[in-house]
Amino acid sequence: MNEWWRDAVCYQIYPRSYGDSNSDGIGDLRGITAHLSHLAWLGVECIWLSPTFPSPNLDWGYDVADYYDVHPELGTLNDLDALVAEAHGRDIRVVLDLVPNHTSAAHPWFEDARSSLTAEHRDWYVWADPKPNGSAPNNWTSSFMGPAWTFDERTGQYFLHNFLPSQPELNWWNPDVRAEFDRILRFWFDRGIDGFRIDVAHMVIKDRELRDNPPATPSDFLLDQFRGQVPLYNSNRPEVHDVYRNWRSIADSYEPSRMLVGETFVNDLEQLVAYYGKNDELSLAFNIPFLTAPYALNTLRKMVERTEELLPADCCPVWTGSNHDMSRFPTRWAAGDPARARCALVMLLTLRGTVFFYYGDELAMPDTDVPLDRLVDPVSIEYQPVLNRDAARTPMPWNGADGAGFTEPGVEPWLPFGNVSACNVADQRDDPNSPLHLTRGLVALRRELSDLREGAYATYTAVGEVWAWTRGDGVLIAINGSDTEATIADVRGAIRICTNRARDNEPVAGELRLAPNEAAVVELELDH
């Protein structure tokens, strides 16, 4: 079977922010097609498009109103077909974002469901009677805070929503819901889509008895403490694995096999690896504990080691630094320090596994300072300044001119541009020392040195914030995250890429010295 996603370089695109082909300030599918040459130049093997489906956009596409079409603001089914054909012509696969946990309240299924207790789609959603005193059926809180239940006046029952009240939860105990999603998968796979990122993959099944969640204690994860409860019964239920075993068999019935990558937002790595099953469930699972960890090499190293230890045979880890829900890594991990951001780029591209870049990561693009009156994400509006998802969703800076190459000069983009003169594709392409060229060089090196793709991970040195590891017999990667010079002993070969590009190709004869916040990829002498 062709498991093409293994060790692949994937790239997440936020469609509203990549390229605006019709000058309305909103990115669209044709805008993405127009920029495929950038992705091919970079060496990207697969793109994941954040939701492209019709949606009232109350959660920017994560509230789907039709699973079989394209949002008119983004284009048409024909535009998507054209994007896929063009991408395939450049050996780039295309993955869509599937939201099986909930629909939009505007989805015809929900409109029908809430019309009466006996409606055809009533049992497609999770409904429950009020308690005798009229309160919600249980104590579950939404991931976006507040109660996870909303009372429906017309039919006298509560419906469940783990996110916004406009995102009612589907009832995955209902075989008709399962059959419908089988159809949705096949519809897109038949159309040539190469896989799906699965939104909140860990949540689709809820406890059948709707039992109360236990209160959080001071030893529980911070987010659970914040919400006041551990999501024991509305998340990560054992029965969820049946759903993915079925989906994997559908994905594997295609040639090449289709990829399923889960947004598995679980707190620990033991729970995470369970989503791979015996390599018969999700093809890949996002490593959220790694993504949300602070940039302390010692902490990240332990997570990498533990992930490697726990992963079932033949499964491939996933490494990510940014996505549309959180601060970008050059801001969050590197605190704006360009040297640290460069080290993070080396780390992401040289660990064993599949890497997912978020658009702009290749430029070490920081968060954008979005003024409060320009926020459009309801969750950010509610929780600013604690949470600001819009800061990581602003338009791609293609150049430093008015419109940033994203849209026509003079057009107001849906979210404001960042400091495009400080960070843009055109300038970085002209600068061989830029993060963009570092990223491209690392991607190319992954192709050139088979150990960087397939070689096993082994920790070589771990002293404080100095971390070195080998990949197979042929490559050593070292990062000095400390404030003083570091020396890695017993290394012979040549630096192939260093974050300080002046050191590329420097021979290493016994000792590898690294300046503070410097990282290097060394091709080892074979007889060593």
CA–CA dist 143, 161 (Å, integer): 9
Give the binding-site size for ligand NOJ (rule: CB under 6 A).
9
- Residue 528 neighbours by CB distance under 10 Å: 11
- Determine the residue with CB nearest ligand NOJ: 62
Q: Is residue 209 annotated as part of the catalytic site, yes or no?
A: no
Distance in Å, CB of 19 to ligand NOJ, minimum: 21
Distance in Å, CB of 265 to ligand NOJ, minimum: 7
Distance in Å, CB of 384 to ligand NOJ, minimum: 15
Tally the C-alpha atoms within 13 A of residue 253's C-alpha that lie toward its C-beta: 11
Please list every residue from 43 through 72 that binds ligand NOJ, using CB under 6 A.
Answer: 59, 62
Closest to ligand NOJ by CB, 257 vs 320, is 320
Residue 239: both structure tokens together: 């029965």
Choosing from 63, 97, 199, 390, the catalytic residue is 199
DSSP string for residues in 367-402: -----GGG---HHHHHHTTT--GGGGSSPP--SSST
Measured CA distances, 287 to 39, 296, 343, 488 (Å): 24, 16, 19, 28
Choosing from 263, 308, 465, 518, the catalytic residue is 263
Distance in Å, CB of 99 to ligand NOJ, minimum: 6
Please list every residue from 130 through 169 that binds ligand NOJ, using CB under 6 A.
Answer: 163
Closest to ligand NOJ by CB, 66 vs 305, is 66
Closest to ligand NOJ by CB, 73 vs 308, is 73
Beta bridge partners of 507: 494
Cβ atoms 103, 110 nearer than 8 A: yes
Distance in Å, CB of 200 to ligand NOJ, minimum: 5
Closest to ligand NOJ by CB, 165 vs 472, is 165
Cβ atoms 15, 72 nearer than 8 A: no
Query: 54-86: buried (b, 16+ CB within 10 Å) or exposed (e) per residue?
Result: bbebbbbbbbbbbbeebbebbbeeebbeebbeb
Residue with tokens 């939860």, as numbered in its chain: 169
List Cβ neighbours of 257 (8 Å cut-off, separation of 6 or more): 1, 2, 3, 4, 251, 283
Q: Which amino acid is at 149?
A: W
Q: Provide the 8-state DSSP code for 7.
A: T
Ranges of beta strands (E only) in 227-271 are: 259-262
Distance in Å, CB of 513 to ligand NOJ, minimum: 41
Mark 80-99 with x for binding to ligand NOJ (rule: CB under 6 A) and - for no binding: -------------------x
Beta bridge partners of 248: none
Cβ atoms 261, 283 nearer than 8 A: yes
Q: Is residue 255 annotated as part of the catalytic site, yes or no?
A: no
Residue 476: both structure tokens together: 């050593």
Closest to ligand NOJ by CB, 200 vs 351, is 200
Q: Which amino acid is at 315?
A: C
Q: What are phi and psi of 262, to 5 degrees?
A: -95, 140
203 is a contact residue toward ligand NOJ (CB under 6 A): no
Distance in Å, CB of 388 to ligand NOJ, minimum: 13
Mark 312-351 with x for binding to ligand NOJ (rule: CB under 6 A) and - for no binding: ------------xx--------------------------
Distance in Å, CB of 505 to ligand NOJ, minimum: 41
* Residue from 45, 199, 465, 518 binding ligand NOJ (CB under 6 A): 199
Closest to ligand NOJ by CB, 59 vs 308, is 59
Query: 15-35: buried (b, 16+ CB within 10 Å) or exposed (e) per residue?
Result: bbbbbbbeeebbbbbbbbbbb
Please list every residue from 259 through 298 that binds ligand NOJ, using CB under 6 A.
Answer: 263
Closest to ligand NOJ by CB, 324 vs 342, is 324
Cβ atoms 364, 345 nearer than 8 A: yes
Mark 111-130 with x for binding to ligand NOJ (rule: CB under 6 A) and - for no binding: --------------------
Closest to ligand NOJ by CB, 323 vs 517, is 323
Closest to ligand NOJ by CB, 160 vs 425, is 160
Distance in Å, CB of 325 to ligand NOJ, minimum: 5
Q: What are phi and psi of 101, to 5 degrees?
A: -75, -35
Residues that are catalytic? 199, 263
Give residues in contact with ligand NOJ (CB under 6 A). Answer: 59, 62, 99, 163, 199-200, 263, 324-325
